[in-house]
Amino acid sequence: MTPELAGVLQLLALVGALALVHRPAGTYMARVYSSTKHLRVERWIHRGIGADPDSGQTWSAYLRGVLAFSAVGVLLLYLLQRLQGVLPGSYGFGPVGPAQAFNTAVSFVTNTNWQSYYGEQTMGHVVQTAGLAVQNFVSAAVGMAVAVALVRGFARSRTGELGNFWCDLVRGTVRILLPAATVAALVLVARGVVQNFSGIHEVGQFTGGARQWTGGAVASQEAIKELGTNGGGYFNANSAHPYENPTPFTNLFEIFLILVIPFSLTRTFGLMVGSVRQGHAVLAAMFTIWLGFVSLMMWTEFAHHGPAPQAAGAALEGKEIRFGIAGSSLFAVSTTLTSTGAVDSAHSSLTGPGGGIAMLGMMLGEIAPGGVGSGLYGMLVMAVVAVFVAGLMVGRTPEYLGKKIGPREMKLAACHLLVTPALVLVLTALSLALPTPPDSTLNPGPHGFSEVLYAFTSAANNNGSAFAGLNADTDWYNTTTALAMLLGRFLPMVFVLALAGSLARRQSVPVTAGTLHTGKPLFSGLLVGAVLILTGLTYFPALALGPLAEGLA
Amino acid sequence: MTTVRTHTSKDSMSTTTPARAPHGGARTGRGPSRRRAATGLFTPRHLAAALPEAFRKLDPRSMARSPVMFVVWAGAVLSTVLTLGDPGDRFGWTISAWLWLTVLFANLAEAVAEGRGKAQADTLRRARTDTVARRLLDDGREEHVPGTGLRLGDLVVCEAGDVVPGDGDVVEGVASVDESAITGESAPVIRESGGDRSAVTGGTRVLTDRIVVRITTKPGETFIDRMIGLVEGADRQKTPNEIALNILLASLTIVFLLACATLPVFADHAGARLDMVVLVALLVCLIPTTIGALLPAIGIAGMDRLVQRNVLAVSGRAVEAAGDVSTLLLDKTGTITLGNRQAAEFVPVPGVTEAELADAAQLSSLADGTPEGRSVVVLAEERYGLRERPGGEPAGAEWVAFTAQTRMSGVDVGGRRIRKGAAGSVVAWVRERGGTVPADADRITEGVSAAGGTPLLVAVEDADGPRVLGVVHLKDVVKDGMPERFAELRRMGIRTVMVTGDNPLTARAIAEEAGVDDVLAEATPEDKLALIKREQAGGRLVAMTGDGTNDAPALAQADVGVAMNTGTSAAKEAGTMVDLDSDPTKLIEIIEIGKQLLITRGALTTFSLANDVAKYFAIIPALFAAVYPGLDKLNIMRLSSPDSAILSAVVFNALVIVALVPLSLKGVTYRPVSADRLLRRNLTVYGLGGLVAPFAGIKIIDLVVSALPGIG
């Protein structure tokens, strides 16, 4: 079997599994977020945090919940790291430095999982499991809650209420993420991922000498790392590490975990707005972009020529031989088109165009299919913009899912669109223009430029993957990437929830023959076009000076 | 006292209303209207006239109204100032010149659109001559005061030859009035006290008789004043949709500002130095200048298209709302059917020939001046060759007039007594005289009623004794082309509801014939208002026409309320539009104009955004191929030099504005098809076209530019 054929078969298996699972998963999630009953354990939690899960919240109350919960999360995670020296099970690791601790706290709470540290050399058991792993669950649940609030904004009419944040947060964690992650972790353990609380081992190497390896609760963290599109590895090598991702099967399974919730949420959305077709249209747009990116990535990685690839038989620099080009390409695209950021290969070693594809995937706003929740709401905001232009072309005040898109909706959608380009471009320019930050880059020319651009693209879009080659553990990068992660996560949430509030207040317009039908392939195509053109136009000059200059040389 | 007639039935009123016959065919008025259309579209003469105004708009305060064009303006200023520092820089001067031209072209588009409105306003101003009013004092004497000195509630006298000094209602008398100053229609109209034809407009001229008018509008706020304001666009406000689009354009402008502002740093890292003028050129090419430049012109032209059709909209918002309408309320009479019932058929009872019946019916109707009576005469003539009797009336005829008590009319002539009227009355008349009524008569009468018609029983008493001859079937005649029109509306997603005072049976029959979707029978003004509210509660936008005072609440409630100019001032006050032609079918055209306005905006936005792709392919290789030679592969147009590439993109960007001015004034062609087909068509033309066109355009301009000395 040629590597190309193996790649196609892996792709088919993945698509088949997703097609099979997304229906029941989407339906289940719709039921979770629409149900009026609480589980006993949920009632305990609500009583514990003093929340009334049955009271409806306006968009601003919902937002206050999101922000307060996240702020407390950052604080707790920061304190855990700073106090690591006195915590049990720390392998003797001392407290994490303030800048890095803040960066890491922000990183995990914003579902970014950008890591400027070496996991196995910095974090002990308690920080890993009680801190990082907990945020892996709840930061994903927050994303889903915000997406569900936006969906309710479309579905409801003449009300100010978007549901209850605490209720959505708890349900997302207890009923969706916990059970799914448990099953996934068991599968991973069965296929060889480690799960223990052992300390540091000395392992002899084939080449002689010995290395220290830490064990840990890896499989449980690996499962939620992918499932919640978090991406923060237990080890620095992330999913390239054999303890995290030992076989081609676990590799494919991890890619499946990354994609399953974001793709399934489109069905949840369709069911909740009362039209499965609408969900299909969004799903089709996401899937088209994802498949297009996967094909391009595989093509450019397989087709790469040059002295090194020729000697190795393929462009395998920075890739794990057990995953090969196909498995690495699939992983690279899936991790950058979602807000995951886990890596099973070094993105810095992708071919020029390949690095560009990974970067462009994040620049799209990670909406194909995107992070858990954030992918759906990002794509829906793009749909609002696409509907606005397309709706005009059919001669009506544009409307999406029966909701008219007026000045307020447009203003919020436009602000949402502006956040990440502003963060990425301004911070990249500052890092290059100021005297000290450039010292962090390893390479000159377009590749060095790509490293910086990639870092801020990854941070602002809450991806978390790194291009390597950039020393991000400096005060400048720890602070600016933390800023980018915070603003890149919560500003869009502010606009999304405000948009949801404003949509929920609007009266639904009935569908007629004069209505733009957003549940059809034509609209999916339009949405794909709008996403690609808007992002392409924003980042074309920057991409030209980085990956394009490198790739076309 | 202003007398207001109240109606129990909208329908009974409408039959008397149209003072001027509405357009007969449904399709009339589609093209440019007979008047005012003379302003044409986009000729060199208009350009020349608009040029001074275009320069005046270079004032930054005026430019600031459009964020996109303000950025271009600022860019032009910046590049000019920078080039002043290096006067020998021919490239800098050329770019600066074209940036100024870009701004100027945008201003020109707006000025041309405004210019057409100004011409119309001038015509109106001529009508607003200073008048001397004859104010009626309490004691019955008159005093002469200037028209501007009138107050609300004043009574003024107007006699033949006088110009009405202000808007008001006729409270006494009846007169024919020449309203050509406002409507352009030269045929005089009748204005009389009471009822729905009582409103007179300042500036119109009384041709005959004497009327007393109660002034209802303050001087300076009259209908003509408002019209002038509207067509001039003096108080033009941005509509919600325009605002939303502006927000989108502004945010795109910010994105491109960010992309361009950070580019020098990125370029510096690559070892390339970026010229500021070039950066400005790149920015101007990227921001959506095409739609930004043409947006005001599109809005003004949309209002203007309404004015061309003799419709005045109170605001641009009303025009946009017209595009969103999903329910259309149409009065039956005068809109869907011709004004009056007409004889359609003679149905004799067994033993009587149709010709016999026709002859009797015609004879009895000869003196009947009502439209129904005339239609009986005409039908008998057309179908049975029964010519109107010479001399009009047979000698010795004794006419029996219709009264509310007898409910029949007829004639006694030469020993024959013919009666024609409501079935019950005629049957009673026959029985009274000892005649018998065959069961067939009942059957025929019921049949006609069931078909939505009105049966008129015809009976005669002559040598053969009293007997029933048969039934004249009177029916509403649906205007030509209406069913097609309604089918068209259905394809556009608009539901039509026919409103009538008829009973449900009759109403349904006509509704079926005309092809409307729903019917509101035995409608009172309250029913109509309730229907509108019900539709709106379901999220639908409702449009309707009206003319009576009792229509005013419904007109005000409707999202698009078109008042007939012949209507009362209360109706005109309540509506969002006034149709000077008083043609209720025009509502359909108004909806199309609303849709066309939005489509034009959307199409040009799409075109403008799609254009950017080609501009990147022109400019990015030009900027960076020197440091990264690989990027020259992006120069797929093979433009001759970096300078010519940048200049060509700027020139294309400016020229495309001029090229699209006619389209933005005329509007994108609208066809009443489903939304999906519209979208597919417009996406292909403006999306795909917008993607491809600049590649060709920039290449052609580059061929020209590269031949110029000092650039290529």
Q: Among candidates A467, A461, A459, which has minimal Cα distance to A363?
A: A461
**Band of residue B18 on the pLDDT scale cut at 50, 70, 90:** very low
Mean pLDDT, residues A170-182 = 96
**Band of residue B656 on the pLDDT scale cut at 50, 70, 90:** very high
Q: What is the DSSP string of B540-605?
A: --EEEEE-SGGGHHHHHHSSEEEEETTS-HHHHHHSSEEETT--TTHHHHHHHHHHHHHHHHHHHH
When scoring A381, A545, A548 by the number of chain B Cβ atoms within 10 A, the one with the most, hence best to mutate, is A545
Q: Which of A396, A517, A538 lies at the smallest CB-CB distance from B598? A: A396
- Judged by CB atoms closer than 8 Å, whether chains meet at A540 and B620 is answered as yes
pLDDT exceeds cutoff 80 at B609: yes
- Judged by CB atoms closer than 8 Å, whether chains meet at A393 and B610 is answered as no
What is the predicted pLDDT for the residue at B23? 38
- Amino acid letter for position B157: V
Please pick, among B331, B359, B579, B643, the residue that the annotation labels catalytic.
B331
CA distance B220 to chain A (A): 34
- Residue B626, classed as helix, strand or coil, is coil
In whole angstroms, what is the distance from residue A523 CA to residue B493 CA?
A: 19
Q: What percent of chain A has pLDDT over 90?
A: 68
Give the best-scoring range by mean pLDDT among A78-87, A150-159, B29-38, B210-219: A150-159
A313-322 contacts at long range (C-beta below 8 A, 24 or more positions apart): A314/A3, A315/A351, A317/A346, A317/A349, A318/A345, A318/A346, A318/A347, A318/A348, A318/A349, A318/A350, A318/A468, A319/A345, A319/A346, A319/A349, A320/A240, A320/A344, A320/A345, A322/A247, A322/A248, A322/A251
- Amino acid letter for position A128: Q
Mean pLDDT, residues A129-151 = 94
Pick left, alpha or beta for residue B456 (phi over 0 → left; psi -120 to 50 → alpha; otherwise beta).
Answer: beta
Q: Which residues of B touch A409 (CB under 8 A)?
A: 244
Q: Which of B266, B492, B683 lies at the smallest CB-CB distance from A545? A: B266
**Band of residue A90 on the pLDDT scale cut at 50, 70, 90:** confident
CA distance B695 to chain A (A): 16
Q: Which of B633, B678, B680 lies at the smallest CB-CB distance from A395? A: B678
- Amino acid letter for position A283: L
In whole angstroms, what is the distance from residue B27 CA to residue B483 CA?
A: 12
Q: What angle do CA A142, A143, A149 make, to 5 degrees?
A: 85
The answer to the question of whether B526 is labelled as a binding residue is: no
**Band of residue A261 on the pLDDT scale cut at 50, 70, 90:** very high
Q: Which residues of B touch A419 (CB under 8 A)?
A: none
- Judged by CB atoms closer than 8 Å, whether chains meet at A512 and B616 is answered as no
**Band of residue B339 on the pLDDT scale cut at 50, 70, 90:** low
Q: Which of B258, B612, B674 lies at the smallest CB-CB distance from A513? A: B674
- Those residues whose C-beta lies under 8 Å from the C-beta of residue B584, and which sit 6 or more positions away, are B22, B330, B331, B334, B335, B545, B562, B564
Tokens of B255: 């994105």
What is the predicted pLDDT for the residue at B342? 84
In whole angstroms, what is the distance from residue B712 CA to residue B642 CA?
A: 9
pLDDT exceeds cutoff 90 at B133: no
Mean pLDDT, residues A489-517 = 93
Q: Which residues of B touch A548 (CB under 8 A)?
A: 630-631, 634
Model confidence over A44-82: pLDDT tens digits?
Answer: 999 999 999 999 999 999 999 999 999 999 999 999 999
Range from B93-97, B262-266, B586-590 carrying the lowest mean pLDDT: B586-590
Averaged pLDDT score across all residues of chain B: 83
In whole angstroms, what is the distance from residue B98 CA to residue B92 CA?
A: 10
Residue located via tokens 């580019």: B263
Tokens of A486: 């915070």
Of residues A511 and A423, more confidence is placed in: A423
Residue B365: CA count within 13 A, CB half-sphere: 29
Give the best-scoring range by mean pLDDT among A315-329, A426-440, A449-463, B45-59: A449-463
End-to-end, the C-alpha distance of chain A in Å comes to 33
What is the predicted pLDDT for the residue at B12? 36
Report whether B573 contacts B13 (CB < 8 A).
no
What is the predicted pLDDT for the residue at B42? 63
Range from A327-331, A466-470, B2-6 carrying the lowest mean pLDDT: B2-6
**Band of residue B424 on the pLDDT scale cut at 50, 70, 90:** confident
In whole angstroms, what is the distance from residue B696 CA to residue A120 CA?
A: 58
- Judged by CB atoms closer than 8 Å, whether chains meet at A418 and B612 is answered as no
For A180-218, letters b (16+ CB in 10 Å) and e give bbeebbebbbeeebbbeeeeeeeeeeeeeeeeebbbbbb
Q: Which residues of B touch A540 (CB under 8 A)?
A: 259, 616, 620
Q: Which residues of A touch B683 (CB under 8 A)?
A: 390, 393, 522, 526
- Judged by CB atoms closer than 8 Å, whether chains meet at B595 and A526 is answered as no
Averaged pLDDT score across all residues of chain A: 91
For the question of residue B331 being annotated catalytic, the response is yes
Residue located via tokens 């200037």: B146
Tokens of B7: 């109606």
CA distances from B468 to B346, B360, B399, B419 (A): 13, 11, 19, 9
End-to-end, the C-alpha distance of chain B in Å comes to 81
pLDDT exceeds cutoff 60 at B583: yes
**Band of residue B16 on the pLDDT scale cut at 50, 70, 90:** very low
Q: Nearest-CA residue of chain B relative to A420?
A: B255
CA distance B478 to chain A (A): 25
The answer to the question of whether B362 is labelled as a binding residue is: no
Of residues A203 and B214, more confidence is placed in: B214
Q: Nearest-CA residue of chain A relative to B322?
A: A396
Q: What angle do CA A275, A276, A279 make, to 5 degrees?
A: 105
Model confidence over A303-353: pLDDT tens digits?
Answer: 876 666 777 677 788 888 899 899 999 999 999 999 998 999 988 888 888
The conformation of residue B20, written as its DSSP 8-state character, comes to: S
CA dihedral for A95, A99, A104, A106, sign (positive or negative) = positive
Question: What is the ipTM score, two decimals?
Answer: 0.93
Q: What percent of chain B has pLDDT over 70?
A: 90
Q: What percent of chain B has pLDDT over 90?
A: 29
Q: Which residues of A touch B610 (CB under 8 A)?
A: 533
Size of interface A-B (CB pairs under 8 A): 209
CA distances from B551 to A129, A511, B23, B339, B521 (A): 72, 29, 22, 19, 16
CA distance B263 to chain A (A): 7
Q: Nearest-CA residue of chain B relative to A157?
A: B539
Of residues B78 and B567, more confidence is placed in: B78
Tokens of B152: 């609300």
Model confidence over A92-112: pLDDT tens digits?
Answer: 788 998 988 999 999 999 999
- Judged by CB atoms closer than 8 Å, whether chains meet at A397 and B598 is answered as yes
Model confidence over B273-324: pLDDT tens digits?
Answer: 889 999 999 999 999 999 999 999 998 888 888 888 888 887 778 888 888 8
Cβ-based burial of B526 (10 A; exposed 0-12, middle 13-18, buried ≥19): exposed
- Judged by CB atoms closer than 8 Å, whether chains meet at B539 and A552 is answered as no
CA distance A425 to chain B (A): 6
- Residue A11, classed as helix, strand or coil, is helix
Q: Nearest-CA residue of chain A relative to B288?
A: A537
The answer to the question of whether B404 is labelled as a binding residue is: yes
